[in-house]
Amino acid sequence: MAHFEEVSKQSDLHPKPAGLVLQYGTAGFRTSANKLDHIMFRMGLLATLRSKKTKATIGVMVTASHNPEEDNGVKLIDPMGEMLTSSWEDYATQLANTKQDELLTTLKDIIKKEAIDMSREANVFVGKDTRSSSASLSQAVLDGVKALGGHNYGLVTTPQLHYMVCCQNTQGKYGEATVEGYYRKLSQAFSQLAKNASNRTDDQKHLSVDGANGIGAIKVREMESHLKKHMQLSVFNDGSRGKLNHKCGADFVKVQQELPTGIKINPGDRCCSFDGDADRIVYYYTDSQGDFHLLDGDKIATLISTFLKELLNEAGLDLKIAVVQTAYANGSSTHYLEKTMKVIVKCTKTGVKHLHHAAQEFDIGVYFEANGHGTVLFSDGAEEKIQQLANDANINDERKKAAFLLQNTINIINQTVGDAISDMLLIEAILAIKGMTVQQWDAIYSDLPNRQLKVKVSDRRVIDTTDAERRAVTPAGLQEAIDDLVKKYQKARSFVRPSGTEDVVRVYAEADTQESADALAHEVSLAVY
Ligand code: NG1
Ligand code: ZN
């Protein structure tokens, strides 16, 4: 990159269409794949700068997650496997929007502002999902990092790339920075946990996975041989026939509240769906009447936090555990967690980075978006205490067992980011250890019926929100109108917010019956126009 002439030459091969303005949002850059070539090249450049600045490996993931196959996107991953720090999101936006002939000036500005030593080495890990556009777009990223230590991982899930960036920068302390190393670490922890389950039949070990016709299907198949003894997988929507995220995948199942197409199951079978880059997961089953039952991120957070709280009690460890949710969390889940489980619940703005940061404030922070993106964070102090207890020869068997389970729970979790495969293994292990069926898990609390709608408006940015997006401040009168509508229904709640990833306003409503939730969502969407 010291060779700015080379950057200039390469940049001419990745020209920016005039007039196109994009913003680095909660999902990085995301839009139609045909608008993204210059963005990818420029993010390759930015990742290189970020690597020189942090003296660490940086990740670049090419994916548009649950969006349609025609879209694509890109996100940068910081040294510990976390999302790009917010001050650099601004650089990303600047670099993306700068005119073709001003690219070098913008680049030099960033180098100066951040006092980057350009003689330093750079190392960038690049990963991509299975979209048809991902091959050429990830090549554009590599053109940006050219000759500066770029490593192409090819097809990986988003969380696998986060994991490998973290492993690389912690000198292997978190694990080995390879996909194989990821499978080994997670499957070993899974086997250790599964040993503590009483004997299970093959049926009980069976799980149907909807891979959304994406990367998750490929990766879970790769992992299958490591899991053989303890798990029986049937993978549907593996990309051999259907289109990515089309009528399948976690987002479809969560929003439509119905089975994905392409899955063949019997009543009572335990099933889950990944999204297109395998960082989200939801579970579900159908009952003997054929009714569909969804176990979303809120139910997952409840299962995991209950399990952890019980283990902490058994281990005699005094660690503060909290659950972090967003406004989309079902009211019943919040009520159950606070009133019955008596855990701290925090609500943050939508977007994983907000939840992740909030979860870092506790000894153990369980965070999940209702859509199924989430993980668990253990503070260094909490990990140390668990480790010490596990090594303590003077404790009774019950405490020893709890410490051992906590240790392996830490190892099975991908703490860098929400991870469908890691979450799936943890959930399967918990159900096995507790001897719990999916129906029993579902019965922990009953969801309030709810509805999510999208509304197209001329400018979604006129809506400004407060109180973790639960109340609209502008336009004037909107919140009052929502309040009046909510009063008409029992156990009702509703809010609106501009989407960060699509040009729409999202409307959410819940109430005591599905009819009321539907009616309220409809009436609120009319108030948004
Ligand atoms: P937006 O489009 O801002 O609602 C969606 C999800 C987020 C998050 C991002 C990033 C909902 C309601 N929103 O954001 O939770 O996952 O995409 O992928 O599910
Ligand atoms: Zn995703």
d(CA 263, CA 209): 8
Nearest ligand, measured from the Cα of 212:
2
CB 483 within 8 Å of CB 459? no
Strands (E), 211-351: 232-236, 271-274, 281-286, 292-295, 321-326, 344-348
Residue 109 Cα to ligand 1 midpoint, Å, equals 32
Rounded to whole angstroms, the Cα distance separating 291 from 287 reads 5
Read off the tokens for 345: 């619940």
CA of 210 to the centre of ligand 2 (A): 14
Per-residue pLDDT at 529? 80
Q: Which residues of the chain have pLDDT under 50?
A: 1, 147-148
Backbone angles phi, psi at 511, to 5 degrees: -160, 180
Spatial neighbors of 375 by CB under 8 A, at least 6 apart, are 367, 413, 414, 415, 416, 417, 418, 419, 422, 423
pLDDT of residue 106: 96
- Residues 76 and 285: beta-carbon distance below 8 Å: no
CA-254 nearest atom, ligand 1: 19
Rounded Cα distance between 433 and 307, Å, is: 10
What number of other Cβ atoms are within 10 A of residue 267's Cβ? 11
Closest by alpha carbon to 129, among 248, 219, 195? Answer: 219
Pairing of strands 123-128, 150-155: parallel
Buried b / exposed e along 36-64 (16+ C-beta atoms within 10 A)? bbbbbbbbbbbbbbbbbbbebbbbbbbbb
For residue 475, say if its preceding peptide bond is cis, omega within 30 degrees of 0.
yes
506 annotated ligand-binding residue = yes
User: Is 501 marked as binding a ligand?
Assistant: yes
d(CA 281, CA 297) in angstroms, rounded, equals 8
**What's the whole-number average pLDDT of the chain?**
95
238 CA → ligand 1 middle, Å: 24
The pLDDT of residue 339 is 97
Q: Tell me if 500 is assigned to a ligand binding site.
A: yes
Q: Reply yes or no on whether 65 is catalytic.
A: yes
The interface pTM score, or ipTM, of the predicted complex is 0.98
Model-wide pTM > 0.90 = yes
- Residue to mutate (ligand 1; options 257, 326, 350, 499; most atoms within 8 A of CB): 350
- Cα–ligand 1 centroid distance for 76 (angstroms): 17
CB 314 within 8 A of CB 335: no
477 Cβ neighbours under 8 A, 6+ residues apart: none
Count of CA atoms in the C-beta half-sphere (13 A) of 88: 21
Pocket lined around ligand 1, Cβ cut-off 6 Å = 26-27, 65, 328, 350-351, 369, 371, 373, 499-502, 506
Q: How many helices, marked H, and strands, marked E, lie in the chain?
A: 19, 19
**Catalytic one of 11, 51, 65, 494:** 65
Where do the domains of the chain lie, and which CATH numbers do they carry? Answer: 4-155 (3.40.120.10), 181-295 (3.40.120), 297-442 (3.40.120.10), 450-528 (3.30.310.50)
